[in-house]
Structure 1
């Protein structure tokens, strides 16, 4: 990904701190396109995103060989106009209508090669970096395996034409970045406290609001199922083929199934759509109707769901034996909590959102610490990874070399074993529960190489963790694993060691990854804050670093550890 896109997409989301989604919320930020210029208000539209670049590929050249025709056909996949009308010119009359270009996208970072299989058959082979399916799910390649596609040719009017080809298109990373945009369909955690993003990728010139609403109504991605819920009654669909956007208002007409929704559910439905449309500059409000009749939607009940929880902007550090929020001039301790944590000589600390509870890792065990009840030892197993905490009141702890050893401890010490399907070979370097409590981030050490996984947290009706879903594997960062953290609801930051230096990588959950630079010295921990700009690194020398532009600079603070805030 280019530096321009990393800045606009990875850094723009965290800037929207703790956005509370209500029916009256006016969304003005745009993480997609255009990247500059004024937004002009126009007529009613349904095609609500326009690409920075419009590719207009050429059609077949007379007298082309099979090899030339195939090469030009692949290039024509950049032009989606008229349902890939130019690309279809390369196909035989009998096959042009059968080919499905929108079935998938394969991203090819290198140069492919063709080989002849028969007199009228060629194979096209390349190494892919990712694929995107028809529902917009982005899947990074986890190994450098070669993809091979078969193409057949036939003579028509004295010219070669393609008579059989795989569905889908093949794009270079640069072209993909130009013609596709990422958007999130939002669902709720089971308590309706948080809005949880499910990232999808759509053509920038497609009717994005319609595709986002369709994705939302079809439900969450497979890997998220069981951890999130939707306010829409089961079976609800769009009753019209396209959503219209008029003067900033998206008008969403639903099937009669929506009438089963309670008044509270209707408010949540509207908020769910508005959050999902937040990356569309043309949409600032949502109106609901059912089969053409307006649907009455009451005001959202308080408290409204939080889309991207914010934390205290001050670093929470342990320095010279004192735990507190630090500036260069003072340290503010946590009433009733700092003293209890300091007495444990902690190696790691994770603080609850209300700042009254902490999960503390020490050399002797994992502790649950509360401001009112002191410290309780909950896990004495050896070889533990640093524990994590959720706001349902559970301390998560596991043995690093045994991913199946995961236990969620209640604050009273009651253990709740959590079933996982994590790979047995790699060890766990970092384990972190997302701030919405619906996902677990895991950085694995696979014989010195890094693997990055995110899995859904499935709970019972009382919020007790039961299991982790089948994990989603993200793009693996280069280097040996050191630490990982949630930067925001959609992005994780990974710290790795490459030789004698450190590297930070930003990876989107359901998207691509990009480099976030290298600190000048060795770093031993990365801690999330309010997005990329509020990430912190702890250097081996105790310096606390923060990102500034494309580099990492000292904050003026030194610490023994930097705590994670929820």
Structure 2
């Protein structure tokens, strides 16, 4: 997605621009209280249906206007269609967002529409850029003497204003190949009373192809009851199959996916999953806490970063710091950065690297060229990235052996980071912010997918994962920390939420902890280490540091 799409279409703080020029707004408008707390508009709109004597162009304009109904309903829009077209029309197939629209009478029974398009959502809510001009030709027929549309395009067409008022970013949670970790997939859904239904419907459509290897324990969309009501805070999810007869492990995975997905709905506190007279209750509870199943998410215990300073490796948190246990806590050997996990530690110098146990035992030394900051992922695998033959070389140690990982299209990198769930990687190269997937087979990393470039407002130097669907990165010197969702949306010029401006420092390294609520750390040119403490940056009392990981 281009900078213009991010800035004008999806950054919710931008000024609202007119997105439905030329479309009549003839129905009643009602202002109500904000029900769900997601910052959506409180305006509800019920469009008018067709009236006798409308011209072809007026019918098409009325159809476009009817798709702007909120709460969402397609009943009025279908009244502008022929009976046959109304039966064939699939409004849920996609959503196209436009910034301008013009309708012209082409000939008798034909109207041409030109849309200045911005982005498009697929059936599941995944967003892709669609900047340009889309030309549609509507064929109309007379039904009982009145013009009606015979060939509506599948999906709905909505204005930028409508999109910014009523659509928000969410995550669907699928399982990795092992079934032990949840992996979020970013989507956009319409907020309101049907949000729980929309999220579950999208979840039941199954995992997308990227990142590779995702699985699901959720039955397919055809077996999901049409509505997911929320009664007294309990989201009631009902399937056609006997989900209560599934194995205990499958019930746990199903529960985790549903709970993590539906907890994003502000009114949902609990979930109940039923099917054909059975109840999913892997722990014995018929109603499950929507905030449960933490073991499937990021490791909450990993609230530390590791700082090489004063000739040792420090384990540093927002409120405490100490040398790491074992050999690395006695000497860092002059390493530029050391990453320490529960079982494994990886240290790098410019031209060499060392992999050890977490306490420094069983060292494996290897040579290389310009190593970037190492990483240890959620499965305790150590990642080493350097350069060879003018491109990136990626090697992974699984605790037993070192593997060269195929990484097609990956150029020489200035930074590299693995997502908290281990399913994706982010990197920087030549000012570009890159994103790709991690391929695993039988618990081993077997490859990286070719990277895609994420939009940035300026050159990116260092990248860190904020959570499973958002990364933060350093821009050019003198600029703030920036962040962006991995679908290219929600770019903000600061840590997510904005407002925490950097003090007068020049950061050279950026690290975020992989816990459920991550902490952000910076290393400046003078060796100072800083942590973001709620709304202010605080320098930690450490010797001048060489690196953080």
TM-score above 0.5: yes
C-alpha change, 1:260 and 1:92, in structure 2 (3 Å) is closer
Q: Counterparts of 1:513 and 1:122 in 2: how far apart (Å)?
A: 33
Match of 2:206 in 1: 219
C-alpha change, 1:495 and 1:341, in structure 2 (3 Å) is farther
Cα contact 2:116–2:133 (8 A) shared by 1: yes
Cα contact 1:328–1:557 (8 A) shared by 2: no
Shift of residue 123, structure 1, vs aligned partner: 4.5
Match of 2:421 in 1: 436
Cα contact 2:416–2:425 (8 A) shared by 1: yes
SS of aligned partner of 2:255? helix
Cα contact 2:124–2:202 (8 A) shared by 1: yes
Pick which of 480-489 and 145-154 moved more: 145-154
C-alpha change, 1:60 and 1:524, in structure 2 (3 Å) is farther
**Aligned residue runs from structure 1 range 361-510, under 5 A:** 361-374=348-361, 376-400=363-387, 405-412=393-400, 414-420=401-407, 422-423=408-409, 426-445=411-430, 448=431, 450-455=432-437, 457-461=438-442, 463-469=443-449, 473=452, 475-497=454-476, 501-510=478-487
C-alpha change, 1:547 and 1:394, in structure 2 (3 Å) is closer
Shift of residue 76, structure 1, vs aligned partner: 4.0
Q: Counterparts of 2:87 and 2:508 in 1: how far apart (Å)?
A: 56
Aligned length: 505
TM-score w.r.t. the length of structure 1 is 0.74
Q: Counterparts of 1:303 and 1:66 in 2: how far apart (Å)?
A: 55
Cα contact 2:167–2:191 (8 A) shared by 1: yes
Q: Counterparts of 1:53 and 1:225 in 2: how far apart (Å)?
A: 40
Cα contact 1:51–1:205 (8 A) shared by 2: no
Cα contact 2:345–2:357 (8 A) shared by 1: yes
Cα contact 1:187–1:272 (8 A) shared by 2: yes
Cα contact 2:350–2:370 (8 A) shared by 1: no
Q: Counterparts of 2:330 and 2:111 in 1: how far apart (Å)?
A: 72
C-alpha change, 1:239 and 1:132, in structure 2 (3 Å) is closer
Cα contact 2:244–2:278 (8 A) shared by 1: no
Shift of residue 437, structure 1, vs aligned partner: 2.2
Cα contact 2:455–2:488 (8 A) shared by 1: no
SS of aligned partner of 1:453? strand
Output one character per residue of 1:41-89: Cα deviation in whole Å (capped at 9) or x when no partner: xxxxxxxxx9744244466799988777666654543215573344445
Cα contact 2:351–2:371 (8 A) shared by 1: no
Cα contact 1:475–1:512 (8 A) shared by 2: no
Larger relative contact order (C-alpha < 8 A, sep ≥ 6)?
A: 1
C-alpha change, 1:111 and 1:359, in structure 2 (3 Å) is farther
Cα contact 2:474–2:481 (8 A) shared by 1: yes
Match of 2:26 in 1: none
**Aligned residue runs from structure 1 range 272-311, under 5 A:** 272-294=257-279, 297-299=282-284, 305-310=295-300
Match of 2:184 in 1: 197
Shift of residue 485, structure 1, vs aligned partner: 0.8
Shift of residue 483, structure 1, vs aligned partner: 0.9
TM-score w.r.t. the length of structure 2 is 0.76
Shift of residue 487, structure 1, vs aligned partner: 0.9
Shift of residue 480, structure 1, vs aligned partner: 1.4
Q: Counterparts of 1:221 and 1:146 in 2: how far apart (Å)?
A: 26
Output one character per residue of 1:487-542: Cα deviation in whole Å (capped at 9) or x when no partner: 12332112222xx5324332224472221336455432221135787222333344
Shift of residue 140, structure 1, vs aligned partner: 4.4
SS of aligned partner of 1:397? strand
Correspondence 1:526 to 2:504: no
C-alpha change, 1:363 and 1:290, in structure 2 (3 Å) is same
Shift of residue 137, structure 1, vs aligned partner: 1.6
Shift of residue 453, structure 1, vs aligned partner: 1.2
Cα contact 1:77–1:171 (8 A) shared by 2: yes
Q: Counterparts of 2:385 and 2:441 in 1: how far apart (Å)?
A: 20
Q: Counterparts of 1:544 and 1:174 in 2: how far apart (Å)?
A: 42
Output one character per residue of 1:11-57: Cα deviation in whole Å (capped at 9) or x when no partner: xxxxxxxxxxxxxxxxxxxxx962289xxxxxxxxxxxx97442444
Match of 2:69 in 1: 79
Output one character per residue of 1:196-237: Cα deviation in whole Å (capped at 9) or x when no partner: 2233322224633334334334432221341x43345x7696
Shift of residue 277, structure 1, vs aligned partner: 1.3
Output one character per residue of 1:260-297: Cα deviation in whole Å (capped at 9) or x when no partner: 62233323322332222111233333333331244553
Shift of residue 336, structure 1, vs aligned partner: 1.1
SS of aligned partner of 2:203? helix
Cα contact 2:124–2:205 (8 A) shared by 1: no
RMSD: 4.2
Gaps of 5+ in 1: 9-31, 38-49
SS of aligned partner of 1:221? coil
Match of 2:254 in 1: 269
SS of aligned partner of 1:310? coil
Match of 1:150 in 2: 136
Shift of residue 482, structure 1, vs aligned partner: 0.3
Q: Counterparts of 2:386 and 2:414 in 1: how far apart (Å)?
A: 10
- Out of 35, 38, 45, the position equivalent to 2:37 is 35
SS of aligned partner of 2:339? strand
C-alpha change, 1:150 and 1:465, in structure 2 (3 Å) is same
